[in-house]
């Protein structure tokens, strides 16, 4: 929505374009400087939350999530997965929907009870060009350990559940592959697994299984990160990694 | 729905009671005679499928699924989990919804596009008392390897996805515990894991890790299953099992 008129049209007549009663909420993860981050956007007059949108009347569900993510980040070919429907909290109850607000007409379709389908996306946040517009007045990438606890509606619950989902799926979805750059250092991959699994690994043992099963391979290439510091770079062996995921092999020790 | 009148009222005015645009579909698993089974119900004039229903206007999502399962099986305290939203196939598209049928009025709310939220449930199928009514004219428990491939709408896709979900979650959800009786034989637990994981284990090695980590314990009790055949019974050590699930330990070798 670029203009006030577009926003007004969405509020008054959006249900001619979109299906009411459920929205899509997107938890967009990126990994940078050994920090796992989530994209937060600030909605005009409402507050900080995660990007969201509605499914168009004739649109398939995954196509809708892809469109919403693309509209917000300008990234094509995003890795995304639905992970949970949020329909059990106060914010998804009848009581919340009839709570009067200052700017929605009493009969607005946006006051109808709305469940949310959560999708998580894994992107290279250095490549994302986040779009702001009339309604989204600001954005920031926030370390998952520093998410403010006062996001709008149930967005804190949605982010927490998305993170639990990464934890549960890290050994059968290509989460490491999608979040790391093509070439990475051992500390980078170790910190990513430590962050998602929320535990520490011994630096000497961590890469053993990844290397012995050739899930990652060492490149003949280093990265200069300072005087006398030039760690070797590694990359995923895509077939071996995919086989490990198919077999749900725990790829850490 | 016990009567024709109730069915007619549901078709004509159901959207005063229920939220339109998404339904709940339930894949109910039971385990009996070393077979993993799914409950199928036959809908009047439509065909075989899985139990489903709608969320009431003021009902929470999980409460709705619990109610639908209880109405159909008479079981309280069912273990159930949502696992996927189905919104990408022909049956969830606008084209399908406007396809004329013989018995729905042109403006029926049931012709509106409807996405489905899939829940899976794990029950003791020997304890379920399946309710039939005017609309559900028959039911059967079917081995997951013998599900007919012509279930109504996208119900085959929903059952298949539920089974993949068990496979992905068997090491972090109490799936074995919920499906097995309190006391079970080693062949019973082995077959359950083999069925869900779709692979064979060596009979001599299978229980090693379960026993050495005291996830299951041997009881001083046997079951007589025939002349000279009285295998020992085992039971889950609930704390150790829960710890293994929390740590996502692969509890088979």
- Chain-chain contact of A55 with B250 (C-beta, under 8 angstroms): no
Residue A234 is inside which H or E element, if any?
strand A232-236
Q: Domain boundaries in chain B?
A: 4-169, 175-246
- Chain-chain contact of B58 with A21 (C-beta, under 8 angstroms): no
CATH architecture of the region B4-169: Alpha-Beta Complex (3.90)
B10/A100 Cα distance (integer angstroms): 31
Model pTM score: 0.91
Give the least confident one: B26-30, B241-245, B247-251: B247-251
Domain B4-169 shares a fold with domain B175-246: no
pLDDT in tens, A46-74: 899 999 999 999 999 999 999 999 998 88
A169: closest chain B residue by CA: B168
Chain A residues within an 8 Å CB radius of B84: 82
B85 touches chain A (CB under 8 A): yes
Q: Which site among B115, B165, B250 would you substitute to test the A interface, given the most A Cβ atoms closer than 10 Å to its Cβ?
A: B115
Name the nearest CA neighbour of A28 among A178, A137, A153, A146: A178
Please report the residues numbered 42 through 61 in chain B whose beta carbons come closer than 8 angstroms to any beta carbon of chain A.
55, 57-58, 60-61
Whole-number percent of chain A with pLDDT over 90 = 64
- Chain-chain contact of A115 with B22 (C-beta, under 8 angstroms): yes
Assigned CATH topology for domain A175-246: Arc Repressor Mutant, subunit A (1.10.10)
Give the least confident one: A126-130, A135-139, B57-61: A126-130
**Could you report the predicted ipTM of this complex, rounded to two decimals?**
0.89
Chain B residues within an 8 Å CB radius of A113: 19, 57
Chain A residues within an 8 Å CB radius of B94: 57-58
Q: Looking at the partner chain, which of B60, B88, B115 has a beta carbon nearest the beta carbon of A88?
A: B60
Give the least confident one: A211-220, B7-16, B182-191, B243-252: B243-252
């Amino acid at each position: 929505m670029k203009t006030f008129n577009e926003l007004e049209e969405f509020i008054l007549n959006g249900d001619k374009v979109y299906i009411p009663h459920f929205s899509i909420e997107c938890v967009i993860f990126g990994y940078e400087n050994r920090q796992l981050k989530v994209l937060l956007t600030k909605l005009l007059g409402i507050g900080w939350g995660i990007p969201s949108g509605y499914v168009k009347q004739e649109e398939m569900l995954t196509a809708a999530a892809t469109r919403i993510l693309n509209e917000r980040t300008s990234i094509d070919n995003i890795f995304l997965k639905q992970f949970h429907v949020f329909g059990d909290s106060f914010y998804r109850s009848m009581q919340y929907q009839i709570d009067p607000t200052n700017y929605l007409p009493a009969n607005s379709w946006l006051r109808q009870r709305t469940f949310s389908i959560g999708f998580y996306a894994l992107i290279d946040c250095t490549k994302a060009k986040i779009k702001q517009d009339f309604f989204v007045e600001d954005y920031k990438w926030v370390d998952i350990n520093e998410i403010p606890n006062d996001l709008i509606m149930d967005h804190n619950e949605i982010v927490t559940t998305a993170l639990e989902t990464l934890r549960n799926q890290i050994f059968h979805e290509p989460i490491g592959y999608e979040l790391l750059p093509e070439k990475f250092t051992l500390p980078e991959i170790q910190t990513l697994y430590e962050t998602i699994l929320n535990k520490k690994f011994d630096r000497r043992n961590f890469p053993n299984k990844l290397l012995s099963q050739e899930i990652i391979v060492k490149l003949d290439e280093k990265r200069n990160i300072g005087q006398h510091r030039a760690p070797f770079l590694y990359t995923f062996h895509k077939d071996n990694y995919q086989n490990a995921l198919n077999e749900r092999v725990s790829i850490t020790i």
